[in-house]
Amino acid sequence: MRRFLPAVLLLLSITFQLVAQRIEPAFWWVGMKDTRLQLLIHAPAIAEAQPKLGYAGVKVAKVTKVKSPNYLFIDLIVSPATKPGTFPIQFLKNGKSVLTYQYELKEREANSAQRQGYTAADAMYMITPDRFANGNPANDNMPGMIEPASRTGIDTRHGGDIQGIVDHLDYISNMGFTALWINPLIENNMTRTYHGYAATDFYRIDPRFGSNDDYRNLSKAAQKRGIKLVVDMIMNHCGSGHWWMSDLPTDDWLNYQEKPEITNHARETNQDPHASDYDKKLHANGWFVPTMPDLNQRNPLLATYLIQNTIWWIEYADLHGIRMDTYPYPDKDFMAEWSRRVLDEYPKFSMVGEEWSMNPAIIAFWQKGKKNRNGYVSYMPNMFDFPLNNALVEALNGDDKIYNQGLPKLYQTMALDFLYENPYNLVVFPDNHDMSRFYTQIHEKFDLWKMGIVYTLTTRGIPQIYYGTEVLMTNPKSDRHDEIRGEMPGGWPDHTASVFTGKGLTASQLEAKNFMKQLLRWRRQTPVVQTGQLRHFAAGDGIYVYFRYNASQKVMVVMNKNNDAKTLDTAKYAELLSGHKTARNVQTEQTQVLSQPLVVPARSAVIWEVK
């Protein structure tokens, strides 16, 4: 038997070499501020092997075995002096190498740590990639992907992809947008997951969208046009089809791992001083839906995995921002550490959290710098301003002749800015991918749409516009997500209308597109409306007036919801207009003498640059 032993060992070695295995992250970078690096290795019986490596500046700090014998976690220290290069990691069993992986430490791009995130100087365009444009029909159906493309079913894939976005970057830039938020592009190899929020591989772009290289190239192409790329991430859950679901590393990799329970969605338990332990646990640990297992970020191995995955994508794809899905659902202490670690590595980076609450106090709890009474410290710099989004729709739809309805909703909501540590860092928006289209919410009234767009692009904060809003996209049949996320006109060859060329658009759609384009371009070159202070005057009688101002510029915005033109006495606004003689109407470019009354057309929002 002894003479056959070398052949058996050779066969065993070849077997280990050939079986599917994962090492995540597959590569890393030298020169990171945090010198720690955790590798997840997944291969049959890999826990029986001992890792061995030799590379100057890299040492093994710890090797962790878990319940599943098919995992091994290796903690490395990569010293600041380590040079970029490739080195073998060998896995030895009985002194023999059964697996070898060539690991690479790459060199970081210049000034990577100081990358500038999006700010209030930017305007963000949001895309659901499957529904935006099909630039490469060849990837509509890919080997190994469960769901084929079908544009006729409900919640199916339509074929939009990364190439479709690249093809229209000039359109996005010419409109005046300077940041691009794309719904998740990572692999979702399940049915009815075109939306991207059920990850089955955290390190792979879904091949129906393109490749990892395609995503990186998209980022580079966007930057050449002055557009910052914002990635959509999920820390709370993965998809039930994730590769690790058939072989979970530990008994606590998921919450309610043995017997799943659905969350109660009681997000207020994070702040509620009276909340029961039962409700707090069910909210944080319950699964979002049955097909989205809830990740246990209290497991230190998983916590490190998620943080490193975030940093890997920032570095690899040269990203400038993150939109974090379902922000209040994961373990809140982990989310604080996650955001702290990201900002520690990239001090100027930008992140925005989704907390769908209409209560500003709930939103404010999560913003960096907020001194919370329960002692919770957050590091999330930006949050979505859902209260203001709701107030905008109510203000436009409400009857201004009824007390506290109509435009006073905007005034009252803005007055609550004292709750926020930095209200100017909130992301403001008329709609997004999870709610009815803005034009639908205001009952397809074009004049109200214009007022809403003016408000979104001139109030404090970072404006975000959902694709198709510029051409009055609607969802008249239902508020089903599949209808809300309709195909962008012109994104498929069989479309009779195109937002990109203007062909086939109605007169109102063309006017809307040009209206938004003019405002976005003006905003892009007007610092005061990006970063200036805001002062407003109590709304009433269908009129709301506010100013954006700094030491050198002032902009005055008047919203008039009345069915007739209104004349304003400028004396009321003397505290900001005193000493100024004229103002230029941004939309019409006409000059207004400020010693004379201001005439505001019916159902309109007028912007004046005060001279």
Active site residues: 325, 354
> Which H or E element spans position 244?
none
> Which H or E element spans position 237?
none
Bridge partners for 558 per DSSP: 545, 606
SS3 state at 178: coil
Q: Cα separation of 485 and 435, whole Å?
A: 9
Q: Which residues contact 274 (CB under 8 A, 6 or more apart)?
A: none
Q: Are 2 and 26 spatial neighbours (Cβ–Cβ below 8 Å)? A: no
Q: Are 400 and 357 spatial neighbours (Cβ–Cβ below 8 Å)? A: no
Phi, psi torsion values for 578, nearest 5 degrees: -55, 130
Q: Cα separation of 25 and 431, whole Å?
A: 35
- The sign of the torsion formed by the CA atoms of 592, 598, 602, 603 equals positive
143 is written with which tokens? 């080997």
Q: Write out the DSSP string of 403-439.
A: TT-STHHHHHHHGGGGGSS-GGGSEE-S--TTS--HH
Q: Cα separation of 409 and 153, whole Å?
A: 40
| Amino acid in the structure at residue 31 | G
Q: Cα separation of 522 and 587, whole Å?
A: 10
| Amino acid in the structure at residue 586 | V
SS3 state at 46: helix
Cα separation values, 90 from 49, 68, 99, Å: 9, 20, 6
Cα separation values, 347 from 118, 379, 425, 458, Å: 12, 11, 15, 27
525 is written with which tokens? 């070159």
Give Cα 86 to chain centroid, integer Å.
33
**What DSSP designation does 140 have?**
S
- The sign of the torsion formed by the CA atoms of 334, 431, 218, 243 equals positive
SS3 state at 175: helix
Q: Cα separation of 394 and 405, whole Å?
A: 8
Q: Cα separation of 305 and 311, whole Å?
A: 10
Q: Write out the DSSP string of 556-595.
A: EEEEE-SSS-EEE-GGGGHHHHTT--EEEETTT--EEETT
Q: 573-579 long-range CB contacts below 8 Å, 24 or more apart?
A: 573/537, 573/545, 573/547, 576/535, 576/547, 576/549, 576/610, 577/610
SS3 state at 255: coil
Q: Are 198 and 234 spatial neighbours (Cβ–Cβ below 8 Å)? A: no
Closest to 43 measured CA to CA, from 209, 249, 200, 233: 249
Residue 29 backbone class (left: φ over 0; alpha: ψ -120 to 50; beta: rest):
beta
**What DSSP designation does 191 have?**
T
Q: Cα separation of 260 and 523, whole Å?
A: 48
